[in-house]
Structure 1
Amino acid sequence: MQSSANTIEAYLAELPPDRRETVAAVREVVLANLPEGYDEGMDFGMICWHVPLSRYPDTYNGHPLGYVALASQKRYLSLYLMGAYADGDGFRARYEATGKKLNMGKSCVRFTKLDDLPLELIGEVVAEVSPEQYIEIYEKARGLR
């Protein structure tokens, strides 16, 4: 379910109350741990935290360089942790060590309720990569360095 909301407030308002509470709680964890230099906004129909185009305009698709995103899908919620994928299997091992069951897609962690997520780990993962480090990871992956 991709949203056409232009603001985070509008996005949250269109969610059912239980989903709104869950998304708001995960958003708070991200905001509390997000390194300085990332911006929050809407992109691709979801809440995104990204390197602003004013800082890094040369992305492959013209959109800001996404670092974390949060979306309400039809059957679950998705948390996209792009920085965690640079960690290889380290994120998977850290997640499983929390005792929570990891439901990980090709690019996201899927969950249905807040208790499914190890919020402390999510905060740690969000806090780990500065925008400068993320740009370096991105450029290496794209063969630009």
Structure 2
Amino acid sequence: MPAPVALTFDEFIAALPAERQQPAVQAWQLVRQAVPAGYTEHIGPKFLEFRAGKDMYIGLANQKGYLTLHLVPMYLMPVLQEQLAAAAPKLKMGKGCVNFTQADELPQAALTELIGATPPADYLAVRHAPRPKS
């Protein structure tokens, strides 16, 4: 299996459609400023991401018609999704992601709080805790 292609941040951004480059830069600056110490940044051909060990914490991806912030803590801790939905009821979001085309669609204060809420050790404890069977 070939090793994943490592990109620089600028190469990742340059590969995006022109209209998505600035929104992606702005969103990722928000993430970089909010992410707690201890996470590591990784840049690949499909995602910008911060990880705790090998586990994605936050990711940014280019989709067919929009950009997506993958917010794994929001998926694992539904109360965070509820808080974000209350702060931005018109935000296009799923259980663990936020879809946007322009950075001004993002509720910066609420996202900063959500991203900064979980130190790596706490995140890994929740991430690897046994889940109840449905």
TM-score range for the pair, normalised by the shorter chain length: 0.7 to 0.9
1:5–1:73 distance in 2 versus 1, CA, 3 Å = farther
Q: Secondary structure at the match of 2:24?
A: helix
* Structure 1: gaps (5+ residues): 53-63
Q: Deviations over 1:10-58 (max 9, x none)?
A: 1111123331110110111111111111011124711010013xxxxxx
Task: Name the structure 1 match of 2:32.
Answer: 31
Query: TM-score of the superposition, structure 2-length normalised?
Result: 0.83
Task: Name the structure 1 match of 2:68.
Answer: 78
Q: Secondary structure at the match of 1:50?
A: strand
Structure 1 residue 50 corresponds to structure 2 residue 55: no
Contact 1:5/1:45 (8 A) holds in 2? no
Counterpart pick for 2:117 among 100, 125, 128: 128
Percent sequence identity is: 30
Contact 1:50/1:66 (8 A) holds in 2? yes
Contact 1:51/1:65 (8 A) holds in 2? yes
Contact 1:38/1:50 (8 A) holds in 2? yes
Greater mean deviation of Cα atoms: 5-14 or 73-82:
5-14
Structure 1 residue 13 corresponds to structure 2 residue 14: yes
Task: Name the structure 2 match of 1:107.
Answer: 96
The structural deviation recorded for 1:125 is: 0.6
Contact 1:92/1:102 (8 A) holds in 2? no
1:141–1:122 distance in 2 versus 1, CA, 3 Å = farther
Contact 2:7/2:45 (8 A) holds in 1? no
The structural deviation recorded for 1:87 is: 2.5
Query: TM-score of the superposition, structure 1-length normalised?
Result: 0.77
The structural deviation recorded for 1:99 is: 4.2
* Structure 2: gaps (5+ residues): none
Q: What is the number of residues matched between the two proteins? A: 128
1:67–1:86 distance in 2 versus 1, CA, 3 Å = same
The structural deviation recorded for 1:8 is: 2.0
1:94–1:38 distance in 2 versus 1, CA, 3 Å = same
